[in-house]
Structure 1
Amino acid sequence: MLPETIGELLGFGTNMGPLETFVAALIAAFIVGNIMLITTAIAGPWAKRKITAAFTDRIAVNRVGPFGLLIIVADAVRLLSKELIIPDGADRPAFDLAPIVMVFSALIGFAVIPMGSGIQLADPEVGLAFVFAVASIASVGLVMGGYASNNKYSFLGGLRAVAQNIAYEIPLIVTAASVVIFTGSLRMSTIVNMQAEPLFTVFGLTVPSWYAFVNPFAFVLFMAANLAEIGRNPFDIPEAPTEIVAGYQTEYSSVYFVLMYLAEFLHIFLGGAIIATIFLGGPAGPILPGIVWFMIKIWAVFLFTQWARSAVPRLRIDQLIEIGWKGMLVLSFANLVLTAVIVGVIV
């Protein structure tokens, strides 16, 4: 674990007291948090625009700094220097807390993700359940922001977010449960280690037993449900700019809008981290360090979400709910039962 490694580097030894444990854990959390914040800072203002431009045959940002990279700094200064506008009649405590709840629900999820090279804050026995539980707290932030804004479009966005998350979070978790059947554990490190065994060898190339290869149907289901959880096309119903302006975030400006925007991309990368961990072997990979492979995998998931955003049209809200309850839910339970039967026969 990273806190123990930092404790040893600081000279605390292996038997750390409460104060030493707290200091080491705080430094470790600071490192992991900044890794993800830097990743998000690159993805949001710069990579998102460049990827979308590539898909739509445009140029995108290229004037501010080399390759347009300094747009990250320019956007930060521009947004943070804007006036923070509070709508008349807003429920101020809920309005203020909503962006913070959304950001921290994503950041806390990374605490149990094994990123390779010893970079993991904690490895509880219920790690997979923990990451789903804290990620789902974002739904509370969406509802708070939508309700507290005193805006009908924001309120509609919050209601849509709740309906969407309920409809797709159940298939998401049920599909992940099929992986738990294979591993027999909710511990994230165990799930990663179980995928290290070779699956088969073709022409001298060994294919690892990643669950994306073992159960590709579950992998496809999870990827689709994850798009709904992070609000990417065809499931960007809570924002739906052509219908409800910007949904739950319509009334947010300045630093609050930055936090909302940050939370959106943190949840995209958290979804990518979960997919990499339970389906793509976590940080496993040849030659390169584990953290490099982990970042490659979560960026690959990010690239897929941006492709969906650029290429797939938005569903109507009634279509989205119908697909979730009548399609994804049924398929996820069918996958769970089939996985249980196959594992039962093999074991």
Structure 2
Amino acid sequence: MNLQTVLPDTISGLLGLEGIVGDVVGGLIGAFLIANIMLITTALAGPWAKRKITAAFGDRIAVNRLGPFGLLVIIPDAVRLLSKELIVPEGVDRPAWDIAPIVIPFSALLGFAVIPMGNGIQLADPETGLAFAFAAASIASLGLVMTGYASNNKYSLIGALRAVAANIAYEIPLIVTAASVVIFTGSLQMSEIVAVQAEPLVTVAGVTIPTWFAFVNPFAFVLFMIANLAEVGRNPFDIPEAPTEIVAGYQTEYSSVYFVLIYLGEFIHIFLGGAIAATLFLGGPAGPFLPGFVWFTIKIWAFFLFTQWARSAVPRLRVDQFLEIGWKGMLVLSFANLVLTAIIVGVIA
């Protein structure tokens, strides 16, 4: 699988453009395509798939009146939300209050810039791609703090502080667990991480099992999935929103298009978490028979299904339990996994 030719190069080649003009035009068109793919995916996930999946777990029907399987409910939902009045509470810090809803989805879309989605479907492939993806996703924490601080609402501020506590407690185990994959591959470059996993691990009865790190180190995969679930704020880790405790947390005071942007950012972050997990542990876009992009789509939707299952089936933790699991459990286990991985790789090498 050749992932070295990134999408902007392909686009500029098709348009017959060279040099800096080709790089700029190819990059802009590529970014537009990737962003729209993720926005369409999120539009399906938020208004429609979330309802259908949650209803299935509760033995209900959910949306089924508009279009096949109720798919067209997306349109009236979008009109309803965007046409609502944008209410600005008194005493808000207006610049921060206005900027925060843009920061949250932007950070998630930025993370997709380095994710290999298929053969040549990758916006950029820097040598520090994994570090870039985590750094881009972390920008959302700034947006969450801004929403809570700027809203002039105690519930919003509590939600923002909880979000920061969650990110600190679980982002460290998340990154440390990802570092164990870097030790195996010897690279932070996303395409290289995918390429290493394409190597055969073992052949059983004529079936070749690839070197997906979920097979090589399932303990690290489980740790990463748990920390990832906390990062995207799904049960049992939905502490920052916790509707039964703090209204809606950091987004309590937002309505209309601002609410849509925050809601959009939340779901894009879920798919970004799934994309990073797929790249690190499930071979990225690799898979038999079907095109790579199809396999990539299946894997990120599988992660979305996992988050919705957790949301429907797992009760919320208390704040003290949430932090204790992060600091006393996940952090210790992630470092233990990192040390053990280093020892194993050192012995094999």
TM-score of the pair, normalised by structure 1:
0.98
Correspondent of 2:59 among 57, 60, 69: 57
Residues 154-205 of structure 1 show CA distances to partners (whole Å, capped at 9, x for unaligned) of 0000000000100000000000000000000000000000000111111211
The residue type paired with residue 76 of structure 1 is A
Could you say which residue in structure 2 is the equivalent of 1:177? 179
Q: Partner amino acid for 1:151?
A: N
SS of 2:74's equivalent in the other structure is helix
Alignment match, 1:108: 110
CA distance in 2, matches of 1:199, 1:117: 22
| Cα shift readout 1:105-156 (whole Å, capped 9, x = no counterpart) | 0000000000002100100000000000010010110000011011110000
State the partner residue of 1:255: 257
Consecutive unaligned residues of structure 2, counting only runs of 5 or more, are: 1-5
Which amino acid in 1 is paired with 2:194?
Answer: V
CA deviations 1:197-252 (Å, max 9, x no partner) are 11111121111110000000000000000010000000000000000000000000
Please state if 1:2 is matched with 2:7: yes
Instruction: Tell whether 2:316 aligns with 1:311.
Output: no
User: How far apart, CA to CA, are the structure 2 residues paired with 1:110 and 1:233?
Assistant: 24
| Separation in structure 1 between the aligned mates of residue 200 and residue 321 of structure 2, nearest angstrom | 41
Structure-2 residue corresponding to 1:18: 20
Matches within 5 A, 1:161-310: 161-310=163-312
User: Cα deviation per residue 1:5-51 (whole Å; 9 max; x = unaligned)?
Assistant: 00011111xxx222231111100000111111100000000000000
- What is the TM-score of this pair, normalised by structure 2? 0.98
Task: State the distance in 1 between where 2:22 and 2:89 align.
Answer: 45
Which of 37, 40, 56 aligns to 1:38? It is 40
Q: Which amino acid aligns with 1:337?
A: V
Structure 2 counterpart of 1:270, one-letter code: L
Q: Secondary structure at the match of 2:201?
A: strand
Question: Identity over the aligned pairs, expressed in percent?
Answer: 81
Q: Secondary structure at the match of 1:114?
A: coil
Give the unaligned 5+ runs of structure 1. Answer: none
Partner of residue 79, structure 1: 81
Q: Distance in 1 between matches of 2:285 and 2:331?
A: 30
Q: Counterparts of 1:134 and 1:66 in 2: how far apart (Å)?
A: 36
CA deviation after TM superposition for structure 1 residue 65, in Å: 1.8
Q: How many residues align?
A: 344
1:41-87 residue CA offsets vs partner (Å, 9 max, x unmatched): 00000000000111111111111222111111111000000000011
Residue identity in the other structure for 2:323: I
SS across alignment from 1:338: helix
Structure 1 residue aligned with 2:339: 337
> Helix, strand or coil: the match of 2:102?
helix
1:323-344 alpha-carbon deviations (Å, 9 max, x no partner): 0000000000000000000000
Letter in 2 for 1:250: T
Q: How does 1:114-133 map to 2 (within 5 A)?
A: 114-133=116-135
Residue 325 of structure 1 is matched in structure 2 by 327
1:92 aligned residue: 94
Aligned to 1:155: 157
CA offset digits 1:264-283 (Å, max 9, x no partner)? 00000000000000000000
What letter is aligned with 1:331?
A: L
Cα RMSD after superposing both structures: 0.6
Aligned match of 2:3: none
Give the match's secondary structure for 2:339.
helix
Q: Structure 1: which 4+ aligned runs deviate by more than 3 Å?
A: none
Q: Quick one: which amino acid aligns to residue 187 of structure 1?
A: Q
Instruction: Tell me the distance in 1 between the aligned counterparts of 2:347 and 2:127.
Output: 26
Letter in 1 for 2:274: G
Distance 2:214 2:53 in 1: 25
